[in-house]
Chains A and B, each alone.
Chain A
Amino acid sequence: MEGISFKVTKAVGEKDLQLEYDLVIIGGGPAGLTAAIYASRSRMRTLLVEKEAIGGEAASTSMIENYPGFPEGISGAELAERMRSQAQKFGAQIVLATPESLDLWTEPKEVGLRGQLIRARSIIIASGTSPRKLGIPGEIELKGKGVSYCATCDGPMFAGKDIAIIGCGNSGLQEGLFILKFVKSLTMVEFLPTIQAEQILQESMRSHKNVRWLLNHETVSINGEEWVESITVKDRESGEERGLPVEGVFIYVGLKPNSDFLTGQVELNEWGFIPTNEGMQTSVPGVYAAGDIRVTEMRQVATAIGDGAVAAFSAYHYVESNERKVA
């Protein structure tokens, strides 16, 4: 039995909202928080808006082992908490709220928050991604009834059970290693013939005896009445289908951009990600994108924070040059 920890987090500052900011950041994951740190150090009046939990998707990562500076690894939520306190220390204001409206084309731009219209001289979109769904029968019906997208959150409830993880990328293996602390057995299912995750994660996983691998297998359906009872997988080589009794299915098959609220506001690519130039600028002047929401080769905490710093730098120069024009 592991010792219980008691995580002391500081309450997110609920100072009164101002009516105008130099920069409004949408999204409180690593990209948005880094932008908040850099912007507030430039003395920009900075507001960060997060709809759910500080840290974004990274917050639900049980252990991040490839973020430099933490050789023992650090939990996503802990890392986010440190970034949050750093941003607030330099004066960034952070609120938990969902933007009610957004107009990127006015100058200044406008964000509807808690019934007020907030003016923003620049905007950074760091709204990130959500887990992608498989889109197979049983997935929606049994969501929360054995189907989960967050092993960190839901893993402890699957103690002593047989479970499957769909998707053998970094997320699938990372969360698999976490959930192995609880479950009886773990089956890793991967559509492709090879495992995509980092070698070091594969090595850790292979040291566990209660893990089995089904590579080159398509997950066809998730079955059960009240609760997940099994999954049906199909061997992509032989075409043979078979049932696999499990009580839990954790799905890690990629990321879907959180960009629905941006339709018609800013250019998105066919998948819904935001194209930017090297300065993180989007198709709209004064609007920048950073982190997982951006069209990029890699979606990691280490890449998101670089984006956040660049976006804040660009936003600062945009606001400053506009100021000179006015003066």
Chain B
Amino acid sequence: MAHLSDEDREHLRKNFSELERPVRLIYFSQKFECQYCETTQEILSELSELSDKIALKVYDLHEDSTEAEKFGIDMIPGLVVANEKDYGIRYFGIPGGYEFSSLIEAIIDVSKGVSELSEETKQALKKLEKPIHIRVFITMSCPYCPRAVRMAHQMAMESEMVRGEMIEAAEFPQLVQRYNVGAVPKVVINDTVEFEGALPEHIFLDHVLQADGVVRGSR
């Protein structure tokens, strides 16, 4: 059975009509012990049918380990949203519930090849010196979470140094425990800086810069 209603499809088709360059959904799955792998693949497949600009490629985490390594995927379900270039946009876990909207936005952003971040933020991101790894923990019932995820993904688009990951908390209890996640959205940057909430762009950026500073050892 389809996950999207006819009305949703119609709406998304209209949205996707503004897509510019082709978008690749590179999806990593495995056949066993994965609660949401199948559902994730189904929804991605439905999305890819809505525009000829969206192509879905499915890999198996173990059988296609070379590809998994290339994209830095070590958990499933794992998704890369890319155009001809891989910006570092990742989803771990199912992008379901409210989080689905951040996936739609990521597809559109990537297809246009530009983010909607302010000029100031873009300039600041260009000066990053060290790799910045942003993890955004979410739940599917959290209406504030997509905003934080989109921020991380847009930052990934604007800087080669940034990788932005959505992590669906319920599917990765070990990570939840490791990063002490008790409220979402929770953002962890390079394991050194963390905060909770969908903060405004400039404050989010401050935390990223702080993580960059800590790495440089120039606190």
Contact = CB atoms under 8 A, between A and B. Distances in A.
B113 interface: no
Interface in B30-61: 36, 39, 43
B183 interface: yes
B108 A11 contact: yes
A152 interface: yes
Interface stretch (A1-9, A232-240, A301-309, A315-323): A1-9
A8 to B, nearest CB: 4
Interface stretch (B68-76, B122-130, B137-145, B155-163): B137-145
A8 B101 contact: yes
Nearest to A143: B183
A52 B94 CA distance: 23
A59 interface: yes
A96 interface: yes
A147 B180 CA distance: 12
Interface residues of A, number: 40
B12 interface: yes
Interface stretch (A153-161, A191-199, A260-268): A153-161
Contact of A153 (B104, B105, B142, B176): B142
How many chain B residues sit at the interface, stated as a range, is 35 or more
A16 B108 CA distance: 18
B184 A154 contact: yes
A4 B96 contact: yes
Contact of A156 (B15, B170, B186): B170
Given A14-B116, A152-B142, A5 B97 contact: yes
A27 interface: no
B196 interface: yes
Interface string A278-295: 000000000000000000
Contact of A62 (B11, B141, B183, B196): B141
Contacts of B98: 7, 9, 77
A172 B141 CA distance: 17
Nearest to A159: B170
Interface in A34-90: 51-53, 55, 59-60, 62, 76-77
10 contacts: A4-B39, A4-B96, A5-B96, A6-B100, A11-B104, A52-B147, A144-B181, A152-B142, A153-B145, A248-B182
9 shortest A-B CB distances, which residue pairs? A153-B142, A144-B183, A77-B143, A6-B100, A8-B8, A4-B96, A59-B143, A9-B101, A156-B139
